[in-house]
């Protein structure tokens, strides 16, 4: 069983939702980024979403755009992103890693080379925000054939006519974007999200995780109650930004600050399911 499938099966058996944490590879530096990624599972992350830095992240809000720029300024590249995962896998063979980003850096790297190197590094899946199902031949189908999961995004505007196409080649889990617009700019509304998750589940047996607009433990609890997983990105990246000096260099406490915040989110995820069981 693939790592992502195994992790969701384990959590489901324990009536737990997944905490999926996003950080950008190489932010604020390679070494600190690796320290953060290595510490996320112990802090409570069940899956790790690793952003592949890109100069034009059009779907991302100010926090993740700034994170990507910090990483690129510090020398981030696709090769270094793969190196980071390789280093992580030396200590952790269990936690799934999904790389999230845009098609351009993969295209420049070469699809065949990227897929081979991603598998060798220990990446489990991909979320590519700017490749619609109509372009599955570009990357989705080759990725699936290579043994990588391909996670699809569904949004509030993805209607029942569109969903089958979106979910057709999806694997691993479905990422439900809880709000329209860019990341990190609004708050998720669990009451409005619940029927949307139910609607998606009519079309797929895959776990459905919810992201965008989840910033606190209370948000995480509310979303954990109604979904298979809670994705937090901008709020975690903000913890990095808040622990840089005036020159943009990481302070010594940047990784511990991230871990404390992730622990806080993890308690919310657990609380959400415990309340749901009452």
Sheet holding 18-24, edge to edge: 149-150, 125-128, 97-101, 47-51, 18-24, 229-232, 208-211, 174-177, 152-154
Largest separation between any pair of C-alpha atoms in the chain = 51
Looking at the annotation, which residues are catalytic?
49, 60
Q: What is the pLDDT tens value at each position of the chain, 278 positions in all?
A: 799 999 999 999 999 999 999 999 999 999 999 999 999 999 999 999 999 999 987 778 899 999 999 999 999 999 999 999 999 999 999 999 999 999 999 999 999 999 999 999 999 999 999 999 999 999 999 999 999 999 999 999 999 999 999 999 999 999 999 875 544 445 667 888 999 999 999 999 999 999 988 999 999 999 999 999 999 999 999 999 999 999 889 999 999 999 999 999 999 999 998 855 55
Q: Cβ distance 126 to 148 under 8 Å?
A: yes
d(CA 103, CA 156): 23
Q: Which fold has domain 3-277?
A: TIM Barrel (3.20.20)
Q: For the chain, give every domain's residue range.
A: 3-277
Q: What is the reported pTM?
A: 0.95
């Amino acid at each position: 069983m693939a790592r992502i499938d195994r992790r969701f099966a384990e959590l489901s058996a324990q009536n737990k939702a997944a905490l999926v944490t996003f950080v950008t590879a190489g932010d604020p530096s390679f070494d600190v980024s690796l320290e953060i990624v290595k510490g996320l599972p112990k802090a409570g992350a069940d899956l790790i979403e690793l952003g592949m830095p890109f100069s034009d992240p059009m779907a991302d809000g100010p926090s993740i755009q700034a994170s990507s720029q910090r990483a690129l300024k510090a020398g981030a590249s696709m090769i270094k992103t793969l190196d980071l995962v390789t280093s992580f896998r030396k200590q952790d063979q269990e936690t799934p890693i999904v790389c999230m980003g845009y098609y351009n850096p993969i295209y420049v790297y070469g699809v065949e080379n990227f897929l081979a190197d991603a598998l060798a590094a220990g990446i489990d899946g991909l979320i590519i925000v700017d490749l619609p199902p109509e372009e599955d031949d570009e990357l989705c189908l080759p990725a699936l054939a290579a043994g990588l999961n391909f996670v699809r995004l569904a949004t509030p505007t993805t209607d029942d006519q569109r969903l089958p196409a979106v979910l057709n080649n999806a694997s691993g889990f479905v990422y439900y974007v809880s709000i329209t617009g860019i990341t990190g700019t609004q708050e998720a509304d669990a009451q409005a999200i619940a029927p949307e998750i139910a609607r998606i589940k009519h079309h797929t047996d895959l776990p459905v995780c919810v992201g965008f607009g989840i910033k606190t433990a209370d948000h995480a609890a509310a979303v954990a109650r109604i979904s298979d997983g809670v994705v937090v990105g901008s709020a975690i990246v903000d913890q990095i930004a808040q622990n840089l000096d005036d020159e943009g260099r990481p302070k010594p406490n940047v990784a511990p600050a991230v871990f404390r915040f992730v622990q806080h989110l993890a308690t919310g995820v657990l609380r959400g399911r415990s309340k749901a069981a009452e």
